[in-house]
Amino acid sequence: MVRPMIERCIEVQSARAQITAIPFVATDLCQRCAQCSSRLVCRSKALIRIDPEDPPFVDTSRCYGCNVCIPACPFGALRLND
Ligand code: SF4
Ligand code: SF4
């Protein structure tokens, strides 16, 4: 009885960690698209782009880890640390 509860707790903690994980932009994968689709879907405006020639970056003070930006990038440039 105790063991399934512990396993459930670990599952919940793991899910929480995934939900709140902050992504980063892999600059070697980023194609510097004229319209960054990941930026368009970020509701907290946490993907910042100062120069259109440069990849965007994640402002960790704004990012709340929803991770919707990850599948929005067609080049897989939004990543999570392993
Ligand atoms: S993060 Fe993805 S969508 Fe955004 S500019 Fe880079 S490659 Fe394009
Ligand atoms: S994880 Fe969510 S809040 Fe953070 S940069 Fe991606 S879309 Fe924006």
The CATH number of residue 47's host domain is 3.30.70.20
Q: Which of 24, 29, 31 to mutate to test the pocket of ligand 1 (most atoms within 8 A of CB)?
A: 31
- Domain membership of residue 14 (yes or no) is no
- 4 contacts: CB under 8 Å, gap ≥ 6: none
- Domain membership of residue 26 (yes or no) is yes
Indicate the SS3 state at residue 14: helix
Q: Would you place residue 80 in the very low, low, confident or very high pLDDT band (cuts 50, 70, 90)?
A: very high
Range of the domain at 37: 22-79
- Domain membership of residue 17 (yes or no) is no
The model's pTM is 0.79
pLDDT given at position 1:
55
Indicate the SS3 state at residue 79: strand
- Domain membership of residue 3 (yes or no) is no
Which atom of ligand 2 is nearest the CA belonging to 72? Answer: 7
pLDDT in tens, 22-43: 999 999 999 999 999 999 999 9
More confident residue, 63 or 10: 63
pLDDT given at position 69:
98
Q: What angle do CA 8, 79, 33 make, to 5 degrees?
A: 145
Ligand 1, pocket residues at CB < 6 Å: 25, 30-33, 36-38, 55-56, 73, 75, 77-78
- 32 contacts: CB under 8 Å, gap ≥ 6: 52, 53, 54, 55
How many domains does the chain contain in total? 1
